Chains A and B, each alone.
Chain A
């Protein structure tokens, strides 16, 4: 250990990002001996916006659009976490139909987020075809979201007390049509990308995260499940109507980058299943109840399983119309910590694969 530290000091650190074709708004500092990585660390903070503080100056409802921007790919899940905390403080009961719509939207976002990740993962391995295909297929689901909410990514439709509006007429048929097609596309993605021999070669055995390490270092979401742990808030601490849904939690075995990729792929399959079930078993009825503007004094903690892992929202209120304190713990932050651990002993060429197998989202890590 000592020697390697001395070697670290002597050699040079190369900045990989924040201005780099594949890095995103974060920086990886790495040090090499030829092609071998001697050490690597992630440097975040380039897109810190102080959302937790900003939330203290907004009405309860005005916080929602801002929270979506923590991770715009995964808007509904973040909405839901916060909204559930607000509802807990108010003690309101959300109508059943609204719960189903929420689950539907959350799973839609999980798929769009995973597809976006697929696109990035393909791009960093130099596979631009899949980048285009995944983005195209994502467009189908975004179109579905736009049909319901009017916007493609930033929905802002989950509000305290339910959802803003009911599904439009003819939505169900369109959704089923698109889901049928989307399932075909998933098969094609599986054949071309996820089982592509060259992709397997690129990712298997890279960045192994053992079970114990995953627990010890606090991994979250698909990264955690890729190491073989069956931990998912949707099953462990079911919220909304996830209890009534029939779905499996995919896990990996070896905990390498390929397993993490496959977990995400199978999650997409499971999510389409949940979306179908939610649409089929949706009861009729109202979709929202009134929630007063002024909240009582109280505190609430809510957990949701976002696409990248568990996101926690802690909300503290004094009597008033604005949150007193909002604390968010986001999955990308937890996962980015693993980077130095899993990058040990790999090559420079593995860097992007290692980073993107964690599905990092710098905005999500910085808040």
Chain B
């Protein structure tokens, strides 16, 4: 008896999932909303940096190098995002809070060199890449009987 039950039940359950909410988010048309502590591309506030070099020392991946700013003698961090693993130790241990985290993780480019962000580029506001369409922001939610899925924010 249990044999029959154990054979039929999976079939019924599998078929019942046809009517459930589709789980996938249609990235990049829909992008899941980032958590508030999201560890994305790092941003540098040059005016706050005191050139202490803590970030360079703490970085486990040797992704940070202190370089001179263009046209001045001030040393500021340059981050190679090809090496960075977004541990955010540099952000947590920066004494002047010059390095801050942002939500942008879409930073892929076609060449490794472009991933090296000199301080000037690091100071720019992160910007959604032009190649991708502007996404709808969705959120992972458990809603009702149709199960969990990505729901557009504001339409929950």
Contact = CB atoms under 8 A, between A and B. Distances in A.
Given A136-B23, A148-B37, A181-B148, A66 B140 contact: no
A50 interface: no
A195 interface: yes
B35 A139 contact: no
A150 to B, nearest CB: 4
B72 interface: no
Interface string A146-163: 111111001010000000
Contacts of A44: none
B37 A66 contact: no
A46 interface: no
A192 B10 contact: yes
Instruction: Give the interface size class of chain A.
Output: 35 or more
A340 to B, nearest CB: 32
Contacts of A140: 140, 142, 148
Interface stretch (A31-39, A57-65, A267-275): A57-65
Instruction: Give the interface size class of chain B.
Output: 20 to 34
A65 B13 contact: no
B84 to A, nearest CB: 11
Contact of B38 (A64, A146, A177, A178): A146
Contacts of B92: 164
Given A151-B39, A168-B36, A62 B6 contact: no
B3 interface: yes
Nearest to A147: B35
Interface in A226-248: none
A58 B35 contact: no
Interface in A129-181: 129, 133, 136, 139-140, 143, 146-151, 154, 156, 164-165, 168, 177-178, 180-181
Contacts of A129: 14, 17
B107 interface: no
B52 interface: no
A307 to B, nearest CB: 22
A188 interface: yes
A191 B9 CA distance: 7
A200 interface: yes
Nearest to B39: A150
Interface in B55-82: 57-61
B37 A168 contact: yes
* Residue from the set A62, A63, A165 with the largest chain B CB neighbour count within 10 Å: A62
A1 interface: no
A29 B3 CA distance: 36
Given A129-B14, A196-B10, A197-B6, A139 B23 contact: yes
A199 to B, nearest CB: 9
A254 B144 CA distance: 41
Nearest to B89: A61
Interface in A181-228: 181, 188, 191-193, 195-198, 200
6 contacts: A61-B89, A62-B60, A129-B17, A150-B88, A156-B87, A193-B10
